[in-house]
Chains A and B, each alone.
Chain A
């Protein structure tokens, strides 16, 4: 299969999130960036599908500035064949999706993988938008995927359960946790990644439809009311009379 994996660059999951004093921007100082964990699963599954089939290519694509290239190199070290970076700040989901779709539309990809959502802006929009822009079916939040010829059998989460769907290539899918375990690059992969192609493309003139006008940190809690372990039962009355949640 010829597979495209969309990669997002996000703050490490342990990052303490703070905003600038005017609440206009996310405070990037000292933040370590990683490949979005769901995208890492997408990349690993793309490699596994091709390994099982005994052939194919995996291209990773990313919309971001030059300082994000370390994570694209990491994706190459994990096993992607080549990487594409669209040289623009990814501030709007439609912008990102349209840039990816513009690149992908005449390349003949069989499968486009994204993560379920990025763990920074949590939009979960790019995969579905790419699918619609390329007029492809999309199956989101998938737990497993197997291929028989050009037909995929996919299990996905739905509200109140799961479903199994069949879909023919080409299609778009979004990865989530159960799909696989992320692959760690080994030394040979890291060495090979240095000589793999990383193409930088100037963005097209896609419109931006949204902008963030302000951020806000969550309100601090008033403080925890401790209940003595010997009097644990009194919690139930507090939840009923005071918190009024049961």
Chain B
């Protein structure tokens, strides 16, 4: 018996979300004393594979065919299903990012597996069942979902599991590529990678701003704070509806749900839909002119005042802090 983890790579390198999935899968495997196998698809840079052992993989299966460098849910699911069979895995763990969201449902049908998406904690085992805590109602609650099928798939919300160095062997083997050209049914014709910016869904620190900024011309100080902290930028729904910022920055119930270590909300009052998207953040700072703003009810730190005056002061303090540390 084995647990399989999809160790997704981006341009041949593994990201933190992948290591989180490996660490988490190692904890799932430990529940039943199983070994953990990682499946890697496509071309991998240098000795990047060795890190998978570090985070808990006993074995690594590599299907190195370069056609698998492109993610296509139909084709990728087929490759992972082949690996699950080769490893004798009944449980599969993947990251709940955009590709994981496309992949998990397809894979669950292929493997006849029960699926829990967006897990935020290590499951508990009861006989052949696993019970997994996940967020529901867009972060306004949690549900413990019991997976009853023989096969199970869990997708892990990024920033939900601490990395643990287990220094396992990560013994490498290869598998022939089961995917053929006809499996790539949706053809990627153009990639528009955002360069030089931290993707919001992966960010540990997020600086977010709302209508309290008074206009898009004032966003320079928000960008500056994000750059000083190494944070991603985000915004509220009204700001994205007014086209002050792009929709890809809109966090909230109908936008992106995030759970960074630090969320700084500047000039956002905190409508219930916005709070739903960010309430999973570990530490929340709210800056608002209205001391009755709902954001202060879920914030850890609050400053009552005008964002346009406070943000430059904070930026100066961050510069000083960064210089000293």
Contact = CB atoms under 8 A, between A and B. Distances in A.
B106 A214 contact: no
B279 interface: yes
B262 A246 contact: yes
Given A124-B117, A138-B102, A165 B305 contact: no
Contact of B114 (A136, A138, A210, A225): A210
Interface in B56-85: 71, 73-74, 77
B261 A245 contact: yes
A126 interface: yes
Contacts of A177: 247, 250, 254-255
B192 A140 contact: no
B144 A229 contact: no
Dominant secondary structure at the B interface: mixed
Interface in A131-173: 131-133, 136-141, 143, 153-154, 156-168, 171
A122 B135 contact: yes
B289 to A, nearest CB: 10
A33 interface: no
B179 interface: no
B102 to A, nearest CB: 5
Nearest to B280: A218
Interface in B273-313: 273, 279, 282-283, 285-286, 296-305, 309-310, 313
Nearest to A152: B186
A221 B297 contact: yes
Interface stretch (B33-41, B145-153, B170-178): B145-153
Nearest to B204: A245
Interface in A201-246: 208-218, 221-222, 224-229, 232-233, 235-240, 243, 245-246
Interface residues on A, range: 35 or more
Contacts of B286: 224
Given A123-B117, A164-B192, A159 B99 contact: yes
A166 B187 CA distance: 5
A225 B205 contact: no
B47 interface: no
A209 to B, nearest CB: 4
A152 to B, nearest CB: 9
Interface string B119-154: 000000000000101111111111111111100000
B73 to A, nearest CB: 6
Given A127-B105, A221-B299, A229-B305, A119 B193 contact: no
Contact of A212 (B113, B146, B313): B146
A226 B303 contact: yes
B56 to A, nearest CB: 22
B199 interface: yes
A161 B114 contact: no
A218 B192 contact: no
Interface string B162-201: 0000000000000000000000011111111110000101
Given A132-B77, A132-B105, A132-B106, A243 B283 contact: yes
A106 interface: no
Interface stretch (A11-19, A47-55, A64-72): A11-19
Contact of B109 (A133, A211, A233): A133
B186 A209 contact: no
B314 A236 contact: yes
Contacts of B106: 128-129, 131-132, 138
Interface in A73-128: 93-94, 97, 119-128
A166 B253 CA distance: 29
B235 to A, nearest CB: 13
A212 B143 contact: yes
Contacts of A246: 205, 229, 262, 321
A165 B192 contact: no
B269 to A, nearest CB: 14
A227 B303 contact: yes
Nearest to B11: A160
B323 to A, nearest CB: 12
B318 interface: yes
Contacts of A138: 73-74, 102, 106, 186
20 contacts: A13-B273, A122-B137, A125-B104, A125-B115, A125-B117, A153-B189, A158-B98, A161-B199, A162-B192, A166-B186, A178-B247, A210-B147, A212-B145, A215-B136, A215-B143, A224-B302, A226-B302, A227-B303, A229-B303, A235-B317
Interface of B: 10, 71, 73-74, 77, 97-99, 101-106, 108-110, 113-118, 131, 133-149, 185-194, 199, 201-202, 205, 229, 247-248, 250, 253-255, 257, 261-262, 272-273, 279, 282-283, 285-286, 296-305, 309-310, 313-314, 316-318, 321, 325
Given A132-B110, A216-B143, 4 more contacts: A93-B115, A157-B248, A158-B71, A177-B247
Interface of A: 11, 13-17, 19, 26, 37-38, 93-94, 97, 119-129, 131-133, 136-141, 143, 153-154, 156-168, 171, 177-178, 208-218, 221-222, 224-229, 232-233, 235-240, 243, 245-246
